[in-house]
């Protein structure tokens, strides 16, 4: 074991369940022993990541005739027919429609439970087209790149690389107030992400239906004997740091899976129906069940990560996007209904992220990587039925078009996240740690949280 390389150790640990082993941080364990708990209420953030770069200019569309005509001319064969759009009426003005596949979210918008954040994306500072072309303001590196822009959304790193994500940094800051929690603040149902990585805080990563258990283990017969033997092996002293780390990871994996599965076994049966055959809906149903057992696990603050893919629509966009958006709409609407059923809707805020928006221009039967796009925020504490930020002029050659219909964001992801973080309980003095570029923007709070 002493000669085992770090790479081989990580590979073997992952094969044995490392991805499902992240639990409480050392700091939170110490705080738990001291009985510290700084919050008397419960709040949860749920990040719904749309991998691939969602073409959100087909998701929320202007309906006034002049604006629609400009949109249709720019989008050409990608334009959604005006009479097919689901009308929505923001209380702060404008005539817009949602994609015809998004009836669930259109209804939530009209009911005041959904807000629209138009033309939002990674920015280091407010940026004009002239500044972009002259490179006189700092820009997020590697614009239009999937991995880099996913990282920008999840870390808010700006120009500097970051090994931590904004939700991980938030968990670091709150660790002393969350000592009573039996589970990590950050929970992912869609793999390990940098979003939830902190300096000390680590996420708990589980499967879409709940914690993964070791398949060879059980409670009776030979399966129980195998588990007992493995636990004895883990408990034995290990001579190397890799061996001790490996043992600790798997001990934590077993303990966390046992803890969470026991809690979920007592979760109430929900009447809310979730779409079948949808990974996103399954993940969100599991999140609802985890929220339902929050008291059993002593949870005060949680950040959940769920995701779905397929949004890199370079081809066949009109054929594929309707089902993608229908899945998002139906899954999110069902999740909101579940939070209402559980009586916790005011304490749960769900929001979308995606790599980037897409180009206004058509490449034939799809769209290309771009920059600014539309995101949603949903929940009982959301000041809904309104747009927060500037909906851009959707025409080729508009003042925000850097070329090919790629629009410079007018709202930054730092402002978006800071508004969520403040509601979650982060103090104004700590927002710079969560959103490092926030200081460059005059508006620190977008106002979509009531």
Q: Supply the CATH number for residue 97's domain.
A: 3.40.720
Whether 332 maps to a domain, the answer reads: yes
Task: Mean pLDDT check: name the lowest of 236-245, 382-391, 424-433.
Answer: 236-245
Residue 47 is inside which H or E element, if any? Answer: strand 43-50
Q: Which pLDDT tens digit goes with each residue over 49-85?
A: 999 999 999 999 999 999 999 999 999 999 999 999 9
Whether 22 maps to a domain, the answer reads: no
Indicate the burial class of 280 (C-beta count within 10 angstroms; 0-12, 13-18, 19 or more): buried
Q: Which pLDDT tens digit goes with each residue over 319-373?
A: 999 999 999 999 999 999 999 999 999 999 999 999 999 999 999 999 999 999 9
Query: Residue 9 pLDDT > 70, yes or no?
Result: no
Whether 356 maps to a domain, the answer reads: yes
Domains contained in the chain, number: 1
List strand residue ranges (DSSP E) for 230-387, in order. Answer: 301-308, 348-354, 373-379, 386-387
What pTM does this model have? 0.88
Query: Residue 92 pLDDT > 60, yes or no?
Result: yes
Please enumerate in sequence order all residues whose Cβ is within 8 A of that of 419, keeping only pairs 6 or more positions apart, or say none. 445, 446, 447, 448, 449
Whether 78 maps to a domain, the answer reads: yes
Whether 401 maps to a domain, the answer reads: yes
Q: CB–CB of 126/390 below 8 Å?
A: no
- Taking residues 268-281, what's their average pLDDT? 98
Q: Look-up: residue for tokens 């409480």?
A: 24
Query: Residue 414 pLDDT > 50, yes or no?
Result: yes
Whether 36 maps to a domain, the answer reads: no
Among 138, 286, 144, which Cα is nearest to 209's? 286
Whether 150 maps to a domain, the answer reads: yes
Whether 7 maps to a domain, the answer reads: no
pLDDT given at position 221: 72
Provide the residue range defining the domain that includes 353: 42-212+275-440
């Amino acid at each position: 074991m002493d000669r085992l390389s770090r790479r081989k150790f990580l590979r073997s640990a992952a094969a044995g369940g490392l991805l499902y082993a992240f639990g409480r941080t050392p700091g939170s364990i110490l705080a738990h022993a001291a009985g510290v708990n700084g919050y008397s209420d419960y709040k949860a953030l749920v990040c719904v990541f749309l991998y691939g770069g969602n073409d959100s200019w087909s998701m929320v569309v202007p309906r006034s005739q002049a604006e629609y005509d400009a949109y249709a001319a720019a989008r050409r064969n990608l334009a959604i027919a005006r009479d097919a759009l689901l009308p929505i009426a923001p209380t702060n003005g404008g005539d817009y429609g949602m994609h015809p596949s998004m009836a669930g979210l259109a209804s939530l918008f009209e009911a005041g439970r959904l807000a629209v954040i138009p033309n939002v994306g990674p920015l280091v500072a407010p940026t004009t087209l002239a500044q972009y072309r002259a490179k006189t303001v700092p820009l997020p590196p590697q614009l239009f790149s999937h991995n880099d822009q996913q990282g920008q959304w999840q870390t808010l790193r700006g120009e500097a690389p970051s090994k931590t994500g904004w939700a991980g940094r938030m968990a670091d800051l709150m660790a002393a107030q969350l000592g009573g929690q039996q589970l990590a603040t950050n929970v992912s149902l869609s793999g390990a992400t940098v979003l939830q990585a902190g300096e000390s805080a680590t996420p708990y990563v589980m499967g879409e239906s709940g914690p993964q258990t070791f398949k060879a283990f059980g409670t009776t017969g030979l399966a129980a004997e195998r588990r007992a033997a493995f636990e004895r092996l883990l408990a034995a002293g290990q001579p190397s740091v890799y061996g001790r780390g490996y043992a600790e990871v798997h001990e934590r994996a077993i303990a966390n899976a046992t803890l969470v599965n026991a809690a979920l076994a007592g979760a109430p049966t929900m009447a809310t129906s979730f779409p079948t055959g949808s990974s996103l809906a399954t993940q969100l149903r599991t999140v609802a069940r985890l929220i339902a057992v929050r008291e059993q696990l002593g949870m005060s603050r949680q950040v959940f990560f769920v995701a779905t893919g397929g949004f890199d629509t370079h081809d066949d966009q009109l054929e594929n996007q309707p089902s993608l958006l229908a899945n998002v709409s139906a899954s999110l609407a069902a999740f909101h209904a579940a939070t209402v059923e559980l009586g916790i809707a005011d304490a749960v805020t769900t929001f979308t992220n995606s790599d980037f928006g897409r180009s206004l221009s058509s490449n034939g039967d799809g769209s290309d990587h771009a920059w600014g796009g539309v995101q949603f925020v949903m929940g009982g504490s959301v000041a809904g039925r309104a747009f927060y930020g500037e909906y851009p002029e959707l025409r080729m050659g508009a003042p925000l078009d850097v070329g090919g219909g790629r629009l410079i964001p007018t709202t930054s992801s730092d402002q978006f996240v800071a508004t969520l973080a403040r509601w979650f309980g982060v103090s104004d003095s700590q927002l710079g740690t969560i959103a490092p570029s926030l200081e460059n923007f005059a508006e620190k709070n977008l106002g979509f949280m009531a």
